[in-house]
Structures are given as C-alpha cells and as structure tokens.
Structure 1
Amino acid sequence: MTAELPEPQAKPTSVTNQFESTLNVWSGGTTHAGVWECGPGEFTADRSADTEVCHILTGSGTVVGEDGTSADIGPGSLLVLPRGWRGTWRITETVRKTYVIVGSP
C-alpha cells in the first residue's frame, strides 16, 4: 500500500525510543481506520477499551500478550487484539500496517 505518512513522532509507550507515524483515513463514531508505521524496538500496548484488527503490510516482529501467548508477524499477517488485550510488540524490521480500531459504544 502506498500512503504518504506524516513525519514520525516519538512513541509514548516505547521502551527503546522508537518513532511511529499514523495516518487516520476514516472515523465514524467509536471506530476508526488508518495506516501506521513503527521502527524496530519494543513497546507496550493496551487494548482495554477497544478491539484492533490489523493487517501487516511490511516488516516483522513478535507480539506477546501478558498471558505469554505470542505471534510472529510479517507481511500478510492478520492480527486481532480483542478488547482487554495487553502486551508487548517487539519489532525487528520496521512494520507498516493497516488497522481498524473498534471502541466501546
């Protein structure tokens, strides 16, 4: 997917000083969709209030839930982080993904 992303910004939940860029392409109520990119490193994620469905376009890494369940991700991976999920992303090669986030009504 070709998308011109904004200038990368420091990722607030990064434990390794990563930068990320997000382009929101659609919003409606508590749902929004877009394109996101983040460089190598590690960050925490919290989906306590919403569900995220993402499709990995480029890059690689591993996503690890607090319960220890892990998934290796790469181009073509479809990842669902259900409401209540919390864990860590470990990116080994810059990841670009499309996402849909569905919030609580």
Structure 2
Amino acid sequence: MNLLHVDAATVEMPEPQPKPTSVSGQLESSLGVWADAVTDTGVWECGPGEFTADRSSATEVCHIISGSGTVVGEDGTSAHLGPGTLLVLPKGWRGTWFVKEAIRKTYVMVGA
C-alpha cells in the first residue's frame, strides 16, 4: 500500500457546494484523502455561518488548520475553534457549529 498525504493548508479544494445542514446558506468543500469500511479521512472547508451536526453513528476527530468559530453541543458545552485546535466529537454528539471565519480542517471519521 502506498503512503497517502496532502498539505492540508494549501491543497486545492473541489468547488464548494451548498451545505445540507446549514441554517444560513453556507457552502462547503470536502476532499477525501483515504477511506475504508469504518474510517474516512480528508480535508474540509466551510464558509461563515451556522450549521447543525449529528455524530450519532461515528466519532469525528478534527484538527483546525485555519479560520475560527465555536461549536456548542446539545448539552450546552462549547469549544472555541482556531488554528491548531484538536476537536473530538464523540459518537452520539449532536450540536451546532458557528463559523466566524471560513474554517479549514482535517478530519478522521471513525465508525462511519
């Protein structure tokens, strides 16, 4: 098997598409890097605004490359996001993302 890698900060992303769970009409772009039966990895980017997220079926581990915002879980727990933030949304997490400045992140979905 070959080594797979991208420079997450500079990789050219696909054309942005409407984000299905956006409350404010955001666009998002996702570039898959590798996947198998239970894991999906890649780079994701989303413009400013608000969207809901549901991690009922998988855990998401993401590293914020650029941008800023806040995530707020249904339980009220929140986390500020900025470059360098490592965020884990455990299986079963549901909440809302508030993107202040366009966010680019790497992600690993486990159990998807």
Q: TM-score range by the shorter chain?
A: over 0.9
Residue 10 of structure 1 corresponds to which residue in structure 2?
18
Q: Give the partner amino acid of 1:30.
A: V
How many correspondences in the alignment? 104
- Aligned partner of residue 30 in structure 2, secondary structure: strand
Residue 61 of structure 1 corresponds to which residue in structure 2?
69
TM-score normalised by the chain length of structure 1: 0.97
Deviations 1:43-93 (A, max 9, x none): 000000000000000000000000000000000000000000000000000
Residue 35 of structure 1 corresponds to which residue in structure 2?
43
Deviations 1:83-105 (A, max 9, x none): 0000000000000000000016x
Q: Which has the larger radius of gyration?
A: 2
Q: CA RMSD in A?
A: 0.7
TM-score normalised by the chain length of structure 2: 0.91
Q: Which runs of 4+ in 1 moved over 2 A?
A: none
Indicate which of 27, 44, 53 corresponds to 1:19.
Answer: 27
Q: Which has the higher strand share?
A: 1
Note the C-alpha offset of 1:15: 0.2
**2: CA distance between counterparts of 1:29 and 1:4?**
26
Gaps of 5+ in 2: 1-8
Residue 72 of structure 1 corresponds to which residue in structure 2?
80
Gaps of 5+ in 1: none
